[in-house]
Amino acid sequence: MNKLKDYSHKLLLALLVILLACLFAVTFLGDDQTTDINLSLDDAEPFELRTVNGGYTEITLRNSHQLMPGNSVSVQEANGTELDALKIEEVVFRRKSEVVVFVKNGEQIEGRLANQEDLNLRSDWTKQRQPLSLSKDRKIINIPFSEIESIKSDHKILFKTPKNVDLQDFRLSFYQSKDIQLSYFEMPERPQWEKKSLDNNETKYDLFTPPVIYLVDGKLSNTIPRESLVNQKSDEKFGMELIRFSNEPYPYKLVSWIGEIPYFEDTQTRQSAVSSSFVRNRLEVGIPYKKNTQRAGGQPSLVPTSLEDNEKELVVEKFVVQQYKDEKSGGMKIIGRALVKDFKLGGKSFEINNQMKEVYAGNIKIEVRMTLDEIDDKVFTFTTSDVGISFDFGDRVYTVMKIDEASKTISVKKKGPSQDQHVEKILSLP
């Protein structure tokens, strides 16, 4: 009886040891049963979203697209119901980024932005005076913005942040005009991290990334010497020369009037490509006018606008018709006299009358020639009202800092080809 009792104690002890071993194996050696979704790069959101100063939201898309100012960002619920449509106010292209430009005539031009700084375009981007400069095959291609339909790249977009909607809680869809290729992105359901087992020894990344090693003067190095990073020698020529600084006649001439309304001839615009006659504009007193950028044959070159318009060109402040005595003939003649304010030239108002063959109102025409080795020369033209204007040429940016009419000189700052290279020089006529 005592032996049976001893055996039963040993049997219970053995069963207890086996049970504890099983519990230990299940608890510490079993696989983790977490069911959260694993977040990989393939599952990642197709864009990054952040709030910037000024009440704007900035989105960086991971794929190339053609979204431009004026396109929309649609805020949607999970079932696809649209809550709001947010207008894109601005786009930002990285300096020297690769782009494809879609021109209105159907042409596609690939190249790299020649800008030394990021390019910001807003709602009025098609009216920019300076063209878009692309670097392609060691040449600079200038494309007027008025001829561009859209630009394809991975540029950022900005729109006003909605006040009553948290964009993180909704899907975002991006729409472009039907006239250009459509890019469509949707924000997927918010993924969650999966708690991975450390014993799986799994990773989607290489455990070892080989270093980049350079051979410099027969020796191995993990860095590039500074002199190898600079593409421009310190003794490189400035690359810009002043070739013209002249007082040009005012382009608008008073030629006739009907009642109290004068008519001005635009000596820079002809009636048509085959006509020898200049366009005449009917300018009412007190109404500002600007260039007619959409002009067709037979239409005026100036159209009415408002004083708030930054593109306004001129206004006739006063117009009178008077008689005066001709000293040579002794007879009486009629003269029309207009007091004109030119917003582009600035300065005081000046008189234009129908007896003046030419009017000089301080319209200075300046021409510079760009000359760099291995790049075709190019001439740029501007006026005294264009202080601050910049020209992109051969991976360099030339900015007009100051114009001195008295000495007929201009001060120009040159930047590039590397970011830390800056040279300023005063240019004068040869």
Please report, for the chain, the start and end positions of each structural domain, with discontinuous segments joined by +.
42-175, 240-246+364-428, 250-359
- Beta-carbon contacts of 38 under 8 Å, excluding residues fewer than 6 positions away, are 193, 194, 196
**Beta-strand pair 82-93/98-103:** unpaired
Nearest to 408 by CA among 386, 430, 380: 430
- Half-sphere exposure of residue 194, counting CA atoms within 13 Å on the CB side? 13
Paired with 422 in beta bridges are 415
Neighbours of 244 (CB within 10 A): 15
What local confidence, expressed as pLDDT, does residue 177 receive? Answer: 45
Say if residues 212 and 222 touch (Cβ distance below 8 Å).
yes
Looking at residue 235, its pLDDT comes to 65
Torsion of CA 115, 120, 122, 126, to 10 degrees: 10
Task: Give the closest residue to 153 by CA, choosing from 139, 134, 140, 171.
Answer: 134
Task: Supply the pTM of this predicted model.
Answer: 0.39
Q: Which of 397, 373, 410, 383 is nearest to 117 (CA)?
A: 397
Identify whether the C-beta of residue 405 lies closer than 8 Å to the C-beta of residue 230.
no
- What contacts 86, CB < 8 A, 6 or more positions away? 72, 73, 74, 75, 159, 160, 162
Give the DSSP letter of residue 6: H
pLDDT at position 58:
86
- φ/ψ of 266, rounded to 5, equals -95, 105
**Residue 65: Cβ-neighbour burial (10 angstroms; 0-12, 13-18, 19+):** buried
pLDDT 10s digit of each residue in the chain, 430 long?
555 455 666 677 777 777 777 666 655 554 443 333 232 333 345 677 777 777 788 888 777 888 888 888 777 666 666 667 788 889 999 888 899 999 988 888 898 888 778 888 988 888 887 888 888 877 788 888 888 989 999 888 888 887 766 666 556 666 554 443 434 444 444 445 455 544 455 554 445 555 666 665 566 666 655 554 444 445 678 889 999 988 888 889 999 999 999 999 999 888 887 788 899 999 999 999 999 988 887 889 999 999 999 899 999 999 999 988 877 777 888 899 999 999 888 778 899 998 888 888 777 889 999 888 878 888 888 887 778 888 888 888 899 999 888 888 999 999 887 777 888 999 998 8
User: What per-residue confidence (pLDDT) applies to 190?
Assistant: 46
Q: What is the pLDDT of residue 232?
A: 43
What is the per-residue burial (b if ≥16 Cβ within 10 Å, else e) of 344-367?
Answer: ebeeeebebebeeeebebbbbebe
pLDDT for residue 290: 94
What pLDDT does 26 receive?
Answer: 52
Q: Which of 143, 121, 108 is nearest to 70 (CA)?
A: 121
- If phi over 0 gives left and psi between -120 and 50 gives alpha, with beta otherwise, what is residue 286? left
DSSP-assigned letter for residue 232? S
